[in-house]
Amino acid sequence: MDPRVYQISVLSGLLIYGMGWLEFDIPPGQAVSILGTALSVQWICSRLWKLERFDARSALISGLSLCLLLRTNHLLLAAAGAAISIVGKFLIRWRGKHLFNPTNLGLVALMLVTDGAVWVSPGQWGNAAFFGFLMACLGGLVVMRAARSDVTLAFLTCYLALVFGRSLYLGEPLSIPLHRLQSGALLLFAFFMISDPRTTPDSRAGRIAFAALVAGSAWYVQFRLFHTNGLLWSLGAWSLFVPVIDRLFPGPRYQWVARPLALPDQPGSSTPNEQPALL
């Protein structure tokens, strides 16, 4: 099973439930604008880069994530966020690998240039929706067991240790860090952004190191510099160093589409630079 199909199902269900029952602060027109722009730009870029076929799955994941996180009173800015997310996949690359998670790139770029006109909703969904989404995300780890679940687990381990460690050091009751961690934005980040197989380091050692760096920096921005959206700023900054991590800890490049193994003397056999995907 393609992990993206599961991700699209989870994100779509959450968005429909949030807009229909939890009164998420996103007008239907804005959601349509984000999703329509993401799919349209993906199609245009697929034609410009002369790809063999149009694949909507990655664009849908980026668009749905933006619908859940991005907040603005300007419809054009919402559409611009979707366009930046998709175009960035095609333009900002290093040796054929795009550097930034598309959703993260769109959010960070808009927050940098709009001076408060765009912000991120942490997602106050209530306990029932939060734990339902948590269970769906944990189920996604089973679907992605051979992909990049290790970076999600490493990030959550490091970040939770830092958050709980700080509270224990300050003598805070455990209810305080638990409340801080009950954030839909944290779940989206851990299970749908930092775990993006196309932007994380290629080797397991590299991914664990990357997750620890992102977690440590996010904690520092949030609890030492007292700035919001530490997760997004940290991921955006450390994504620039993924090529360095890949150089230090080389590994096989991930591919979404699995290709059958072939003998070395057969046409289409895999080479060291073209590893078959493990889904």
125 occurs within a structural domain: no
Same domain, 111 and 151: no
44 occurs within a structural domain: yes
Q: Which pLDDT band holds residue 263 (cuts at 50, 70, 90)? A: very low
Same domain, 20 and 113: yes
Between 139 and 142, residue with greater pLDDT:
139
> Domain span at residue 69?
3-120
Q: Which pLDDT band holds residue 129 (cuts at 50, 70, 90)? A: confident
Same domain, 176 and 232: yes
- 251's tokens: 């590994």
Which of 105, 120, 135 is the endpoint of a domain?
120
Q: Which pLDDT band holds residue 22 (cuts at 50, 70, 90)? A: confident
Same domain, 171 and 235: yes
Which of 120, 136, 161 is the endpoint of a domain?
120
CA–CA separation, 260 and 256 (whole Å): 13
Condensed to tens digits (0 to 9), the pLDDT of residues 191-237 reads 999 988 889 999 999 999 999 999 999 999 999 999 999 999 999 99
CA–CA separation, 123 and 182 (whole Å): 9
pLDDT computed for residue 147 by the predictor? 60
171 occurs within a structural domain: yes
68 occurs within a structural domain: yes
pTM of the full structure = 0.87
95 occurs within a structural domain: yes
Same domain, 37 and 87: yes
160 occurs within a structural domain: yes
Q: What would the mean pLDDT of 152-163 be, rounded to a whole number?
A: 96
Same domain, 108 and 150: no
140 occurs within a structural domain: no
The structural domain count of the chain equals 2
Same domain, 72 and 14: yes
Same domain, 206 and 110: no
Alpha helices in the chain (DSSP H): 3-20, 28-48, 57-69, 75-91, 102-113, 126-143, 149-170, 175-181, 184-188, 204-223, 230-239, 242-248
141 occurs within a structural domain: no
Are 232 and 110 in contact by the 8 Å Cβ rule? The answer is no
